[in-house]
Amino acid sequence: MSDNPWLAAATTLFMWWFSTGVILWRVRVADNGTAQDHLNSVIIGLPLLAIGFAAAWASLPDLSANGIYLAFLAALALWAWIELAFLSGVITGPNRTACPAFITPADRFWRAVGTIAWHELTLIATLTALGLASLHAANPFAFGTFALLFIARVFAKLNLFLGVPRINTHFLPRPLAHLATYFRIGRITAFFPLSVSALTVGSALLLERAINVTHPGMSVGYALLTCLCLLALLEHWFMVLPLPDEKLWRWMLPARKSLSLTPQKDHLEDANGL
């Protein structure tokens, strides 16, 4: 595969858009069916998990452009299956209830942690496995890709919890409707500029490596990570700026079947009324 950094940028952009769209499409299709359909999605997607681990292992000794792309796609495959399992309500956390009103900030935090605990532990376990496998490997980019996705996701989740002006709940599936009650729509906190600054600095450092590294394979790897970090930065700005980011995927999703409203659904609709 080509070691052209522009191809790496285009690949990252396409995979970000395409993989997100496919997951949202599959979750929406299952949402219009039964609870069993969500479980079936996760089971059907298990080969993605197996292929991700196999590809990550195969990429470890290969620092060529082909090996770098293989490592990058392997990390995306692992991430995609875990996100599918989360959005399907299969790997979430022990707390599956809406946030009660008038509770202390500490109680709200621990309840929020309980909604995603198993999902976070799964991500950490996968990240640890990739890290251990990459310790003395020539190609660490499967670990680097997954680590960058994990850090950016932690930043995003904390900002959603602490407060941001714009929260797009249109894509929340029915098994996760209660999560909207843990989001806070309001002015940004001090954590938002800190997280944006960290992603900006990270993007600049990765870009410097992509430009100055002499090995062509590593140049591709750093170019892929630079674009991924910039996309994470863009997703953070979507929480603040009035940009119609949902239009990137809404057109490809089937209409959601209407159900009778529940208290959780009412809260979700309130969150949408921005």
pLDDT of residue 259: 54
Task: Give one word for 89, left, alpha or beta, with left for phi > 0 and alpha for psi -120 to 50.
Answer: left
pLDDT in tens, 34-61: 879 999 999 999 999 999 999 999 999 9
CA angle (227, 229, 230) in 5-degree steps: 65
Q: What is the pTM of this model?
A: 0.90
What are the CA-CA distances from residue 190 to residues 158, 159, 160 (Å)?
11, 10, 13
Higher-confidence residue of 116 and 268: namely 116
pLDDT of residue 68: 95
DSSP class per residue in 80-98: HHHHHHHHTTSS--S--SP
Confidence of residue 121 (pLDDT cuts 50, 70, 90): very high
Domain ranges of the chain: 5-268
Contacts (Cβ under 8 Å, ≥6 apart) of 132: none
What does the alpha-carbon distance between residue 215 and residue 167 come to, in Å, rounded to a whole number? 41
- Cα–Cα distance for residue pair 235/148, rounded to 1 Å: 14
Under the banding of pLDDT at 50, 70 and 90, the label for residue 165 is very high
Q: What is the pLDDT of residue 2?
A: 65
Closest Cα to residue 13, out of 217, 246, 227?
227
pLDDT for 253: 81
Question: If you compute the radius of gyration of the chain from its CA atoms, what whole number of angstroms results?
Answer: 19
Going by pLDDT thresholds of 50, 70 and 90, the confidence category of residue 171 is confident
pLDDT at residue 258, as a whole number: 66
Query: Could you report the per-residue pLDDT of 7-35, keeping only the tens digit for each?
Result: 888 888 899 888 988 999 999 999 988 87
Identity of residue 131: G
> Which amino acid makes up residue 62?
D
Grouping H, G, I as helix, E, B as strand and the rest as coil, residue 64 is coil
pLDDT value of position 215 = 87
The pLDDT assigned to 271 comes to 33
74, 142 Cβ separation under 8 angstroms: yes
Q: Kindly state the tokens that stand for 178.
A: 């209660």
Q: Do 236 and 22 contact (CB within 8 A), yes or no?
A: no
Alpha-helix residue ranges (DSSP H) falling in the chain: 5-31, 35-44, 46-59, 65-87, 105-134, 141-162, 191-212, 216-237, 247-250, 263-272
Q: What is the mean pLDDT of residues 52-79?
A: 96
Residue 267 has pLDDT above 70, yes or no: no
- What was the pLDDT predicted at 66? 93
When pLDDT is averaged across residues 140-164 and rounded to a whole number, the result is 96
Q: How far is CA 241 from CA 165, 192, 248, in A?
A: 8, 13, 15
User: Which pLDDT tens digit goes with each residue over 223-257?
Assistant: 999 999 999 999 999 999 887 777 778 777 888 77
